Structure 1
Amino acid sequence: MPTFRLIAPILAAALAFTAPASPATAQQAPGGEAPPMPVTVVTVEASDVLLTSTLPGRVAASGLAEVRPQVSGIVTERLFEEGRPVEAGDPLYRIDAASYEAAKAAAEAGLAQAEAQLRAAQREEMRQQELLDRNVTSRQVFDDAVAARDVAAAAVKVAEAQVLAATIDLERTTIRAPISGTVGLSQTTQGALVTAGQSTALTVIRKLDPVNVDVTQSAAEILQWRRTGQQVAEEEGVTVALRLADGGQYEHEGFLAAAEPHVNEQTGVIVLRLEFPNPERFLLPGMYVQVVMPQGVVQNAILAPQEGVTRDRRGRPVAMVVNEENQVEMRELTVQRDQGNQWVVTEGLTPGDRIIVAGLQKVAPGMVVKPEERGAAEAAPTGN
């Protein structure tokens, strides 16, 4: 009797705390089958895809002139403001011109002397001609007079050349800007001695609008696109974008200015020179930039989300696709390359295919699923 009194409460408690049926069991479809697994899909479409490649480069001035003296002397004056724009022909420095003025005066005096000797020789020639006509003098004397006149005429030309050289040297005592651009810092001061053709430049002028950016492009990639008949960056009319060191996009587009018709034997690349407008002088020589270079156009390609593409055991790219019967199919893909957060697929997908991008771990080929477009799934309200 005592034993029964102990067992009865235990049985009653066990019946009271029996677990209810699980939600999964309660939601089973008729016949005991589980409902289709919900997955998120993206419907892909075909389009012409412009492939781009980001190439590093540095900004270079489109024109550069190192200013050096062409005559020797003492610098007496600097005539420009450092870091300011200058025009071609603007005076930059002035060298002491006293000795060059004296040299020009001496050359002019030599020219005057030569011209006087030429006039005397010409008069002598005329006198000998008259005497020869009257048979008063010999032919030899007349020929000597003609030769003296020719020598005097040559001496005048030499003197004129000396005057021209002295004039050029005198003009070069004022050092002028050879090109238009922005002048840099001065590397000499007033009172310094400079020499003609010295190795150290007095200053440097850089043309900053436009500017150049030199990048390298693989010759193998260019050859590949040309074989397939695609448009490549070396063709005219192709514009390129510029990304700055801070990640920002440069507001002006550039274009291909020149391509080196030579492949580097060691690296296998071709140097491309790109030109960018720089009206605000925002780009400076030596600045590191990245060029977004068009590589070619793939006709009727499909951009597949990268999260929907995986690899099989052999390393081949595959994707899970939901067919019209909402069954899962595995497709082997031919991937051209990446484009941002997508893959450029040329084979394996057709327009209208629905790629599974969420829920891949819970599905297998042949399984029936409940697909929902990614945009609609993100916009759908969540339950309480």
Structure 2
Amino acid sequence: MTQGTRGGAATRALGVLGIVLLLAGCDSAPAASGEADETLDTRPMVRVAQVRNGSAEQRMRFPGVVQAMDRGAPAFLHAGVLSERLVERGQRVEQGEPLARLHNPALEPALAGAEGRVKELDAHLARLERDVERARVLRERSLVAEEELDRLVAERQATAQVREQAVAARADAAAQVEEMTLRAPFAANVADLLIEPGDFVAAGEPVLALSGIDGVEVAIRVPVTLGARLTVGMPVQVSPTLQEGRFQGRISSVGRAGSALVPVVVELDPDPRLVPGESVQVYLSVATQPSLQVPLAAVQDPGGHAPYVLALTDEESIRRVAVAPGRLENDWVTIAAPLALGDRVVTAGQGRLQQGDSVRVLP
């Protein structure tokens, strides 16, 4: 290769290198300029969110247990010994079906005595009827005094009144004996057996427990302030604890107890999966007053004595605003504060920000 050829190649290489350096300089100049601009802006960077209106409903959850709408614990009116139990645990019984029998040695003799007294008075009254008729015939013949006829008529009337009292006593004794047989007050399943045959039963002591078959309900207790806002017929949702699904129901009664908690009964729509004893959660949705909400991350010192948020002015400067946090809903908290709908509050980058600091808002 000649010397002239080598010189031409070197010249071309230097030209290419110059072009590359020129292009690199053109590309890096804007970047360097941008970095310089960012370096000059030393304001802290923050993220913000706008204050919004809270939901028009407050959703609350209360635990409960499904129970039959008709429940009972039948008992005898008199004391005695349980002589016979006619049902077993879990058995289905119909209304009026006998459940158990009691033995009381004083009741049946009382009924027998009342029946004997009525029969005795019936015989006496029949004899007086005949005596009155005979005295009336004799009086027509002037063979007996008027006073004698009047005496017999008065005695007959008095005996008739005594008989009415004896009949009432017999009916009462018969009812007492009938009460020795315990009967189902409604169609139900026998939930539990509380007394065994041969045991002594006090008057009014439950013998067994019945669970009705005509629907189920849930009884819960809520604070008095909430109970005052609930009405009969209000729809609710019920969710079982140990299975999937949501069931519809409605409030059937609201108590007005003077204590801190008010009893509320929720009637459920029929469903074979809801059985007495099932543990559930009852969800209530109650209308609330309009309120402001901010993200929970915007509230500083939420559990302290002076919670606050950092709000932004139109000039992107910090304004510290004291707040009173309320209920939490999906990471947004209801607040009472001198803020307006749409105001911006800092949710990230609070750091060491102070009142009046100027910040830069990230997109």
Fold similarity call, TM over 0.5: yes
1:297 to partner: Cα distance: 0.9
1:298 aligns with 2:305: no
Question: 3-state DSSP class of the match of 1:68?
Answer: coil
Distance 2:285 2:50 in 1: 26
1:308 to partner: Cα distance: 1.2
Contact 1:322 1:356 in 2 (8 A): yes
The size of the alignment, in residue pairs, is: 328
- Which of 204, 208, 224 is the equivalent residue of 1:203? 208
What amino acid maps onto 1:213 in structure 2? Answer: A
- Which of 80, 83, 96 is the equivalent residue of 2:90? 83
What amino acid maps onto 1:306 in structure 2? Answer: L
Q: Name the % identity.
A: 19
Question: 3-state DSSP class of the match of 1:339?
Answer: strand
- Which of 42, 60, 65 is the equivalent residue of 2:72? 65
Distance 1:110 1:169 in 2: 17
1:250 to partner: Cα distance: 5.8
What amino acid maps onto 2:306 in structure 1? Answer: R
Question: 3-state DSSP class of the match of 2:345?
Answer: strand
1:342 aligns with 2:338: no
What amino acid maps onto 2:203 in structure 1? Answer: G
Distance 2:243 2:350 in 1: 34
The aligned residue for residue 174 of structure 1 is 181
Change (3 A) 1:173 1:50: same
The aligned residue for residue 257 of structure 1 is 253
Contact 1:124 1:145 in 2 (8 A): yes
Contact 2:50 2:294 in 1 (8 A): no
The aligned residue for residue 329 of structure 1 is 318
Distance 2:174 2:216 in 1: 36
Question: 3-state DSSP class of the match of 1:272?
Answer: strand
1:281-314 per-position Cα deviation (integer Å, ceiling 9, x unaligned):
74646x7766555665122x222111111149x9
Distance 1:31 1:203 in 2: 83
Change (3 A) 1:187 1:272: closer
Q: After superposing the two structures, state which structure 1 stretch, 249-258 or 96-105, moved more.
A: 96-105
Contact 2:93 2:188 in 1 (8 A): yes
Change (3 A) 1:354 1:170: same
Change (3 A) 1:98 1:57: closer
Gaps of 5+ in 1: 1-23, 223-230, 373-384
What amino acid maps onto 1:370 in structure 2? Answer: V
Contact 2:313 2:319 in 1 (8 A): no
Q: Calculate the TM-score normalised by the size of structure 1.
A: 0.67
What amino acid maps onto 1:339 in structure 2? Answer: L
Q: After superposing the two structures, state which structure 1 stretch, 165-174 or 117-126, moved more.
A: 165-174
1:251 to partner: Cα distance: 2.8
1:120 aligns with 2:127: yes
Change (3 A) 1:196 1:156: farther
Distance 2:273 2:72 in 1: 18
Contact 2:239 2:245 in 1 (8 A): yes
- Aligned-residue RMSD, C-alpha: 4.2
Distance 2:280 2:85 in 1: 39
Contact 1:75 1:194 in 2 (8 A): no
Distance 1:25 1:211 in 2: 73
1:13-50 per-position Cα deviation (integer Å, ceiling 9, x unaligned):
xxxxxxxxxxx987534495137655433334325533
Distance 1:335 1:145 in 2: 95
1:259-302 per-position Cα deviation (integer Å, ceiling 9, x unaligned):
2353x4xxxx25333324274474646x7766555665122x22
Distance 2:248 2:38 in 1: 66
The aligned residue for residue 136 of structure 1 is 143
Question: 3-state DSSP class of the match of 1:273?
Answer: strand
Distance 2:229 2:94 in 1: 34
Change (3 A) 1:240 1:29: farther
Question: 3-state DSSP class of the match of 1:150?
Answer: helix
1:359 to partner: Cα distance: 2.3
Contact 2:45 2:359 in 1 (8 A): no
1:345 to partner: Cα distance: 2.5
Contact 1:232 1:295 in 2 (8 A): no
1:121 to partner: Cα distance: 1.3
Contact 2:247 2:268 in 1 (8 A): no
Q: Calculate the TM-score normalised by the size of structure 2.
A: 0.70
Distance 1:350 1:232 in 2: 30
What amino acid maps onto 1:371 in structure 2? Answer: L
